[in-house]
Structure formats: structure tokens, C-alpha cells
Structure 1
Amino acid sequence: MWWIGLLSLVALSECLVTIPLTKIESTRESLREKDLLRDNHQQHPYSHAYKFLSKKGITKEPMRNYLNLYYVGTISIGTPPQEFRVVFDTGSADLWVPSIYCSSRACGTHRTFDPQASSTFQNTTQPFDLLYGSGRVIGVLGYDDVRVGDLVCKSQAFGLSETESGLSLEFMVSDGILGLAYPDIALRNTTPVFDSMWNQSLISENLFAFYLSSNEKNGSVVMFGGVDPSYYRGELQWVPVSKQSYWQVTVDSISMDGKVVACPRGCQAIMDTGTSLVTGPTKATRNILRSMNALTTSTGKYVISCEAIPSLPDIVFTINGVAYPVPASAYTMREQKGICYPNLNSSKRIKHWVLGDVFLRLYFTVYDRGNNRIGLAPARA
């Protein structure tokens, strides 16, 4: 999977901000997929015909699904624009890309930003340090114009990496990350990209939305300033944000076959487009794994009988009184040699659930900053 463990973001000489889960693919998967990822990396993921779309004031930026590990879109920074692939991540709040001053191997496999080539770049001396579960990014903040689709945020704060350590950073397809969480978890005295869109009157509604497709090439979009109902079925069900830092909500319970298997008295969950799996506290996750008769291998990994998958029950997350089932076809994956694994991950270091792409591929999600709520509806296939 692509983001495991707690992510801590430290601005040197500033306060410590702790961010849950994830933005780096594990070393095991990084190595397993490295040849394919390197091949894909050599070509731009979009054709000239596959550019942003605009409908009724909604800006849509297409994203490409890479192996169900992460969704990558394009932005540009500077004048003239320098283009980068980024993960649009609701689990963090800052933007960073590699810089030409980075000598790490990871920077050598990605596009790098050249401040000297941009007439609108403004430098600072404020350093930052991003520590991931399986990688680390160190650099300095700068300001420049950032374009997302047809929206241009003027003098946007972003990080320029100078050191990137870890195999996961080296082999990941995206160049950087664009965070879409609340400004409370952003670097001090900086404004996140989405807040800049709203503050600079670039969008008509203070919200954005995600449609994550299972198609590995196209179909996935992040949209800013409005909602296109053609991407979902039925009506949006609104859930209040329980804490304005991550996109955090209260889960009533988690059940299988009508029996509560986790979260019996309610719990908290984070909607995180930067996390590939569903992750929960260790005890609760193991209880679910036992309910599906998962077995432990000698390496500590859980496996499931591939033949049993059609008969496994849904995992049902009940949120604000509404049931959101996740079928076995979504919470399991088949790898080489016919081995099947659960798309569930546990962590002793978290107390909240993280509903990543396994959940979000099933449900179109609207992140409404104007009303501090999340809207969910079944995504169209």
C-alpha cells in the first residue's frame, strides 16, 4: 500500500504538527512494482486531448490511477509554468515538489522545480522537514503562481525539496503532493492551495469533490468549486466534520453480517485520498480479519482464500445513520500466484480509522469547507 504509519510534519524552529497516515508506498510494494512504475514514469500520463474540463464554473482536473495505489494529476508552478505530477491528498494540507537543488536519488527520478527559471518566484529562508513512515523530505519554502486546471493561485506557498530519502519516494510516480486538508495542519503562516482558491475568488463554491475510478488510465477527477452529479447515483448524504483538521467524521459502527465487529460505541474516521487502503487500530482491524477467516503468514502478513472471496460478507461502515457497505471484491486483492490479501491495514500508532481509496472508489465524496461537512453518494461505475 502506499501510506503506512504516522506522518509527522515539522517546520524547523516552529511547532510540531502530527498528521495521520501515509503518503508513501511501502518498500515491499515499491520494489515489487518498480519496473512497471519506472516504465510509466517515462511518459506523461495524459494525452493532449485529456486536459482539464470545465462545466458550469466547475474546474475538473483529471487524475490517473496507478495500480490502485494512488491517483496522480498535474499542476504547474511558476512563470513560464513548470509541470509536475502530484497526489491530491485530503490527508495533508501542504504542497511540495522536488527542486533542482536536491541531489537525492529520488529527485533524480522526478521532475524538479527551477526557481531561477520563474520570473514570479519569491524565495524564503523558512525550512521544513516532512517525516513519513518510509521516507523523509527536507527543504525550504517558496512562493510562486500555482496552476490547477484553469485556476491560478497567485503567490502560493509551497515546499521545494532539497533532500528526499527512502525507496518509496524514489519509485513513486508522483513528483510531489498537494494537500487539501484544513489549514490547521498546514505549515504555520502558510495558506493551503484550496484556501487560496477561495480567498482569491477563483471558485464560486467553497468545496471540492473526488471521483476515483478503478480504470487504470483515465476517468478519475478532482473538481473544484462545484459538484457534477453525473459522477454519482442517488442523493448526497451529508456528514458533519467532527474536527476541522483532517476531513474527520464520526462513525457509528462497523459491522459484518449484521454483527458489530468494530467501533461498537462510535469512533472517528478520516477520509484520505492519499491512502490506498482502509486502516484502523490494530485490535479492531484484527477482529475484522478474524471475521473473514484471514490467516497469518510467516512474515506476519494476512492472506485470504481466493475461493472464499465470493462468499465473504460486506464490511459496513455506518456513518451518521447511513450504511456504506464495502464488498469483499473491494476489500481484497489478488496478487501473483493466486494469493489474495485483504485491503486492510492496522497500526498501533493510530486511534482513528482512515478510509482510503478502497472506500473512496465506491463513494463519490464532496468536501464542503463552507459548511464543514462531507457529502457521500454511490459512485457511478
Structure 2
Amino acid sequence: IACLFHSKYKSSWSSTYTKIGKSCEIHYGSGSIYGYFSQDNVEVGDLVVKDQVFVEATQEGSLTFVLAKFDGILGLGFQEISVGNAVPVWYNMVEQKIVNEEVFSFWLNRDQNAEEGGEIVFGGVDPKHFKGKHTYVPVTQKGYWQFEMGDFLIKNISTGFCEGGCTAIVDSGTSLLAGPTTIVTEINHAIGAEGKVSMECKEVVSQYGDLIWELLIAGVQPNKVCTQLGLCFLNGTRHVSGNIETVVEKENKEGISAMCTACEMTVVWIQHQLKQKKTKDKVLNYVNQLCESLPSPMGESVIDCNSLSNMPNVTFTIGSKAFTLSPEQYILKTGEGIATVCLSGFIALDVPPPRGPLWILGDVFMGVYHTVFDYGNLQLGFAEAA
């Protein structure tokens, strides 16, 4: 159906087309496509990339593509994650020496009334669209544009979850900010977002909250608390749960695994509160409230638009520097007048070790901070957008 509503490529109209014909499929965060490989020259702005291999989509199995205003997807990740090991457009731009520098950069305009929605520069940086100097961090793994992120703060108070570092990727193809359920739950609670009540979470707090508190006070390692309580079992050298799931309660998941996941989250929350030297009653009451703020799976949380002035700033630590987002920047508004709806810019995403915990800094972040993708030096740069 999506093909009926969008512009289409016709190889028969091209004198530079070369048939490949190998079939493939690509799965995205929302939706998937099926098609086959072809080769042709690709024009990007005033640049012509010769002999570019690409996918002709013949089937797009998602409502996302039906409603989308775009006709195609231009991947800018590394070849390491390219489907069929196809050479990305950007690689060919560099190889064919049609760009001045091995750098591309993004400016996303957050002014919905502006004529220009943003700008991507291939081969350089536009000085009109950022203030000051960029803070650079090295790419830690080629695939996505991945780097090491430091602590995450709510209202200038550490959440403690990324004190030892978290993996993060910056991705213009992700609309929102995706982070570990444990942290997104705390954000939801702080901004008054309506979440999903988890019975397992409340059960763990009521039945085991005191014991978790005592074990942590006694110096038991946080990653061993739930095992000692019998809520998690060791499978070789790792817990059965392996990671904190996006939502505690999942269909087709054994009850013991859900309890294990709930326990792991509770330990993180209590441990963080212990560092702030709060009383046990206050801590357990707070953790019980967090259970009610657990985000729905990949869902957007609704916010009261009138409460923006009371919401906290949130801060990402990148390259030892604070990158702060105000409520006006991380809350999305849709509609007008009495039909206005406010949505949290955060969604829950849990990736197990060794690749996780993982943050995805999408358009909500990139709209506030101009982003440089330095391919030549394998680094990322962030500066205040202008």
C-alpha cells in the first residue's frame, strides 16, 4: 500500500542502471521492507555518487511507511551493519573524492513554523548553525555511531545508573530519546507521566523491600542481592534474566523471570536512594511510586501540558561536559488549542550486556545540539544548535 502513496524509482528510465537482483529484507525499529539490490548513480544535492548499490523496495509492511512523508531511507551508519555488506552512500562519497572533508553534520530546526526543517552537510560543517565549540568523543564501536556516555542527572541529581559509563548511539533515524527502563521510570515519575502499573514490581517492594535494604546496608554486592533472595537463579555465570526488560510484565514470560527483573530494578533504585542518605520508609515509598511509573513497551507517555514549568531539567554527561535538556525541549507538543497533547520525549529500551545498557540520542537531542559525524577521525562532536 505504501508504494501507492510515494514517488517511485523506475530502472527502465535510467541509462546508468545496472541490474543486481539479489533479494533482501531490512527490519527497522518500526516496520520492515523487502526488495532487491540494484545499482545506479545517486544524486545528493549537487553531488553525484556513481555506481551506488541500493535496495529497490517492493514491499513495505508497516503503516509507518504508508503515513511517512519520505520516500526512502538513506543509511549513514558504518558498513559493519549494512545489509548484504552493501557499501553506504557516504563511503562512496569519500572514496570518489566528491566531498571536501570526511565529515558530515546535522542541524535539525525545532521551529515548526520555519520554512527550513534542517540541514545535513556532506563534507563539512555549517558555522551558522552552532554556538561555541564542539565537544568531541571517540567512536567506541563501528556499526552505529556509538560512544561512551557518562552519568545521567535529573534536576542536577545523579541517577547513579551511568556513573560507570553507559553505551550510547546518536541516531537521526530515531525520533525520541530511548534509555534503560530503570532511568525512564524515574524520569516518568519526576515529570508526572502516566505509566504502566506492574504487579510484580509492587510485590517485590512489599515482600522483599526490607530485605533488599538490609542486604545492601550489609555490603552485599548489588548484582548478587536478587540471587540471595531466590528471585534470580544463576545460569552458568549470569542471571536468568540477563538484563532489565523494557517492561517488567511480559506475556509468555515465566513468573519467576518477571520477579527477577522487578527485583533487579528495585535494587538499582534503592541503591541510588541509599547514596542520598534517605530513611528506609521514604525510600520504599518512593520505589513503590516508581512501580506506577513504569513505561509502556515502546509507548509514549502523556504529560499534563500545564505542568511544564514544574518539570525538571535532565542532563546527559558527554566527554565530561553537561548537555542539558529543558522540559520545553524534551516534551513534544502535538495539535493546537484545546486539542494540544503533550508527550514525553523518552521511551524505554533495554539492551543486555555486553552491548548495553544503551541510550539512543535521537532527534529530541539532536534538535538541541548540532551534531558532527567525523568519519575521518572516528569521533562525534556536539555543540549548542543555533
User: Same fold by TM-score, threshold 0.5 exceeded?
Assistant: yes
Identify the structure with bigger relative contact order (alpha carbons < 8 Å, sequence gap 6+): 2
Task: Report how many aligned residue pairs link the two structures.
Answer: 276
Query: Over aligned residue pairs, what C-alpha RMSD do you find?
Result: 1.8
CA shift digits 1:147-172 (9 cap, x unpaired): 10111110001100111112111111
Q: Which residue of 1 aligns with 2:142?
A: 244
Q: Report the alpha carbon displacement of residue 339 of structure 1 after superposing the two structures with TM.
A: 3.9
Distance in 1 (CA, whole Å) between partners of 2:181 and 2:42 is 39
1:268-347 correspondence runs (5 A): 268-296=167-195, 300=296, 302-336=301-335, 337-347=339-349
Paired letter, 1:295: E
Please say if 1:149 is aligned against 2:45.
Answer: yes
SS state at 2:91 partner:
helix
1:159 to 48, 55, 58: 55
Please say if 1:112 is aligned against 2:8.
Answer: yes
Q: Please identify, of 278-287 and 175-184, the stretch whose mean Cα deviation from structure 2 is larger.
A: 278-287
1:203-214 correspondence runs (5 A): 203-214=99-110
Paired letter, 1:204: N
Please say if 1:233 is aligned against 2:131.
Answer: yes
Please say if residues 270 and 353 of structure 1, whose CA atoms lie closer than 8 Å, have aligned partners that are also in contact.
yes
Change (3 A) 1:266 1:187: same
Gaps of at least 5 residues in structure 1 are 1-104
Please say if residues 18 and 38 of structure 2, whose CA atoms lie closer than 8 Å, have aligned partners that are also in contact.
yes
SS state at 2:104 partner:
strand
Distance in 1 (CA, whole Å) between partners of 2:163 and 2:189 is 17
Gaps of at least 5 residues in structure 2 are 198-294
Change (3 A) 1:133 1:208: closer
Q: Which residue of 1 aligns with 2:368?
A: 362
Q: Report the alpha carbon displacement of residue 334 of structure 1 after superposing the two structures with TM.
A: 3.1
Q: Which residue of 2 aligns with 1:6?
A: none
Distance in 2 (CA, whole Å) between partners of 1:303 and 1:163 is 33
Paired letter, 1:366: V
Identity of aligned residues (%): 34
Paired letter, 1:274: G
Distance in 2 (CA, whole Å) between partners of 1:125 and 1:303 is 45
Please say if residues 190 and 312 of structure 2, whose CA atoms lie closer than 8 Å, have aligned partners that are also in contact.
no
Paired letter, 2:346: L
Larger Rg: 2
Q: Report the alpha carbon displacement of residue 349 of structure 1 after superposing the two structures with TM.
A: 5.2
More helix by share: 2
TM-score, normalised to structure 2's length? 0.68
Distance in 1 (CA, whole Å) between partners of 2:332 and 2:117 is 21
Q: Which residue of 2 aligns with 1:39?
A: none
TM-score, normalised to structure 1's length? 0.69
Distance in 2 (CA, whole Å) between partners of 1:124 and 1:135 is 24
More strand by share: 1
Distance in 1 (CA, whole Å) between partners of 2:186 and 2:196 is 17
Distance in 1 (CA, whole Å) between partners of 2:126 and 2:331 is 30
Paired letter, 1:268: T
1:3-152 correspondence runs (5 A): 105-152=1-48
2:151 to 253, 256, 259: 253
Paired letter, 1:321: S
CA shift digits 1:253-292 (9 cap, x unpaired): 1101221124232101110001110011222211221222
Paired letter, 2:121: M
SS state at 1:235 partner:
strand
